[in-house]
A = this chain, B = another copy of it.
Amino acid sequence: MLLRDRLRVPVGEPVDLSSYGTSDIPAGPTDKAAGAEAMTGLAPRLAELQERLYASSTAGDRRRVLLILQGMDTSGKGGTVKHVIGYLNPSGCRVRAFKAPTAEERGHHFLWRIKRSLPGPGEIGIFDRSHYEDVLVARVHELVPRHDLGPRYGQINRFEESLAEDGVTVVKVFLHLSYEEQRARLLARLDNPEKHWKFSSGDIEDRALWPAYQRAYETALERCSTDGAPWYVVPADRKWYRNWAISTLLLEHLEALDPRYPEGDFDVDECRRRLLAT
């Protein structure tokens, strides 16, 4: 059974995040050492498939992958980029972290800045946060009136459907972290002066809103896990497991695309002869 089939959020069903474990091991390596070994095995396959995807785009293949990472503070979005995307060739990756919208971005529809950041054909795009913030933080902090929020779920679904029609494989990952593990990670940041830049006292205040965030995630996962772009819930309390699981999800999607090196449009023997004459 593929990992994607285990972690996929069923389409059209209510989502109860408390029924998903944050430190479960639904499949794959069962300890850190085995996780590291499995990663070493995955890396060359990921790298080769990425190269094939890119190579294929040079012959007109418009397909590409968009990995969307969402999760509470410290859930490991940045760590995933470092440890998973770090295995790939930076040439074919397009990483974009979305912060609070700028004044210019606020002057546009919430999908405007997203559409400007999409990966091109053959690329793997990685979003650290995404348009889902517009139904998460926007909902919890009541940044928009309810009657404006409601339609956003449908807008997101139609947008992602249009991406699929344009050859974009969207892989949406929710990094599922426990309340206790977040506390431990925030404490670890406080204990290390070299990590202070990642900390803000607002992170503590946001913990009071934890239940509201979980409800907002449940609503987003419930309304926006679709056949064309399902959500995946990755247990995120263990970093090594998170890395393995997301690498595997990425690998499975790339394998399903099965991109091929394009054939050359030249006569190899003739080119070799001409080249040897130079």
How far apart are A272's CB and chain B's nearest CB, in angstroms?
Answer: 5
The yes or no answer to A183 lying at the interface (CB within 8 A) is yes
The 0/1 profile, CB within 8 Å of B marked 1, for residues 253-278 of chain A is 00000000111101010011011101
Closest 8 pairs (CB-CB, A-B): A196-B264, A55-B197, A85-B90, A207-B278, A201-B266, A82-B89, A81-B91, A194-B261
Question: Does A58 interact with chain B (Cβ within 8 Å)?
Answer: yes
- With an 8 Å Cβ cutoff, the count of chain A residues facing the other chain is 44
Q: Is the CB of A204 within 8 A of B90?
A: no
Known: A89-B82, A183-B275, A272-B187. A58 touches B197 (CB 8 A): yes
Cβ of B90 and Cβ of A274 under 8 Å apart? no
Most buried by B among A55, A89, A199: A89
A274, B204: Cβ atoms closer than 8 Å: yes
**Chain B residues with CB under 8 A of A271:** 190, 199, 201, 204
Partner of A197, one of B88, B187, B204, B264: B264
> Is the Cβ of A262 less than 8 Å from the Cβ of B183?
no
Chain B contacts for A272, CB-based, 8 A: 187, 190
Q: Give 12 CB contacts A-B under 8 Å.
A: A55-B197, A81-B90, A81-B91, A90-B90, A90-B93, A91-B128, A183-B278, A187-B275, A190-B268, A193-B263, A196-B262, A208-B278
Chain B: minimal CB distance from A103 (Å): 17
A97 at the interface (CB under 8 A from B): yes
> A268 vs B274: C-alpha distance in the bound complex, in angstroms?
69
CB pair B261–A196 under 8 Å, yes or no, is yes
